[in-house]
Structure 1
Amino acid sequence: MAALRRALARLSFLRSSARVLLTGRKTDLCKPSKWTRVPFSSAASLAVGGLVSLCAVPFKQVEPLSHDSLIRRAASLVTDSSSTFLSQTTLALIDAITEYSKAVHTLIALQKRYLDSLGKLTQAAEDSIWQVIITQRAKVNDIQDECKRLELMWVAAVSLCETAAEAAYVSGADHASVVLRTNIQVAQSQMEETRKLSMDADKKLSETKVMEVERMSQHAASLESGNDEEEIPEAYLRED
């Protein structure tokens, strides 16, 4: 019975303490009061500490996401991924076109060297240079095929970005749409500058081919004239 009386007295004390704390002003709840300095039991300390901690943490009600906000977020993600796809294909195509231009210039140098050596080198040396030219031409063709493949991918990336930018604008993600359209313009500008390199290389290669045809014709004509000059004395000898 004595233990029961002590338990009831402790429970009554806890109830009266909580009632005093709850009926006080809100500002008093956040300030350390005399109750927090009283050596309560473990249960009393938990009750008072819980009230103080609730006072210190601000409560904010989270509003449910609307369909429009979810669509705008999805549109922004689409623009980010589309922009990454465009930047990667642009870099790959620029590297391929640059490599193609270098390979074409190397081929031009080899062809000029071969034309300059016509009639000056042995047949074995000319054949060696010609084999190098054939190998370089095959390399140029392979890189050109790779450029065509990457260009198709780049065009698809641009089209995808334009569609994503339009979708972002319609959904209300204006900033994402503007950023993506800017990235499209930058990529197109970079490609225009890079294409000038390949166009210049192709132009010089065409000029070299024309030069090759002229030099080969002149060389063949010189060989024929030389053979005719050597055969004339024999014809006169036969007539004699």
Structure 2
Amino acid sequence: MQAFRNCGLCASGSLVKGRTDFLVARRNMAVLRLSAACVQLLKDKANVFCRSPVHQRLLRLPEVARSNRVAFSLASSLCAVPFTQVENLSHESLIRRASCLVTDSANTYLSQTTLALVDALTQYAKALHTLIALQKRYITSIGKLTPAEEDSIWQVIIGQRVEVSDRLEECKRFESNWMNAINICELSADAAYNSGAEHACTATKTNLQVAQCKVEELRKISKEAEKKLAETKAEEIQRMAEYASSIDIHDLEDIPEAYLRED
């Protein structure tokens, strides 16, 4: 069509300019006839192409593309959606979920109380060993200290005994909470097992075993320290008795024989 317009413009321009020139007019008429023939040929070719199977298939391409695009988009959307199995919200499933929540809370309570009790037992054992060291130092220095030095070291020993007593009270307080946590965990484990949450029951029992083993280990260390402290106190009493008897014998030796002779 662009070529036809160009040809038409050229032809009209030639007609205007060649009104007085006959030869130019004839040539322009030939150009017009040639342009009309070209247009008719293009129309015939277009009609043949439109009736051809290729053209019909090309006309159907947008519909096929749209249908394929819809199918592809739907498939892509389905692939993007995560298919999860939705559990039936029955009474059993709700109870099972609730039991799992209970075991989680019980495990948290157990871990916190276990940590507190282990730390308290550790500090108690350290306080005992410090007191044992002070007691032994005093035992080795019996009879070698001045009254002021002996009073000073006894002030330190008394202060450490107060520290040991405070640590022991702290252990008792945390142990009470820990025992409550043990009982709650045992009950929650049984509830989880009865509701069908075996994995929660197994995890809770494992945590119970770990906590009990750790606390038992620290208890043994504390008991050994208490035993050593008792032995140190017994040694102190024996050493003081020996020192007192040695003083009495020495005093008796210093008494004149006349005072010891009976009439």
TM-score range, shorter chain: 0.7 to 0.9
The answer to whether 1:34 aligns with 2:73 is no
Q: 2:186 matched to which residue of 1?
A: 162
* Cα deviation, residue 201, structure 1: 0.2
Deviations 1:102-131 (A, max 9, x none): 111110110111111111111101111110
| 2:196 aligned with 1:172 | yes
Q: Does 1:69 align with 2:93?
A: yes
Q: Does 1:185 align with 2:209?
A: yes
Q: Secondary structure at the match of 1:120?
A: coil
Which residue pairs with 1:97 in the alignment? 121
Out of 218-227 and 116-125, give the one that drifted further. Answer: 218-227
1:70 Cα deviation after fit: 1.7
Q: Which residue of the partner structure matches residue 231 of structure 2?
A: 207
**Structure 1 unaligned regions, length at least 5:** 1-32, 39-48
The counterpart of 2:105, out of the listed 81, 87, 93, is 81
Unaligned runs of at least 5 residues, structure 2: 1-60
Higher relative contact order (CA 8 A, sep 6+): 1
One-letter code of the match for 2:155?
Answer: Q
- Residue aligning to 2:176: 152
Q: Deviations over 1:132-165 (max 9, x none)?
A: 0000000000000101111111111110000000
Give the Cα–Cα distance (whole angstroms) in 1 for the partners of residues 182 and 121 of structure 2. 18
Structure 1 residues 136 and 36: alpha-carbon distance in aligned structure 2, compared to 1, 3 A threshold: farther
Residue 121, structure 1, aligned to residue 145, structure 2: yes
CA–CA separation in structure 1 for the residues paired with 2:235 and 2:87: 76
Q: Which of the two has higher C-alpha Rg?
A: 2
1:55 to partner: Cα distance: 6.4
Taking every aligned residue pair, what percent have the same amino acid on both sides? Answer: 54
Cα distance between partner residues in 2 of 1:36 and 1:106:
90
Q: CA deviation at 1:80?
A: 1.1
State the aligned residue count. Answer: 196
User: In the TM superposition, what are the counterparts of 1:4-19 in structure 2 within 5 Å?
Assistant: none
Q: Give every structure 1 segment of 4 or more consecutive aligned residues whose post-TM-superposition deviation is greater than 4 Å.
A: 35-38, 49-56, 59-64
Q: Aligned-pair RMSD on alpha carbons?
A: 2.6
Q: CA deviation at 1:176?
A: 0.4
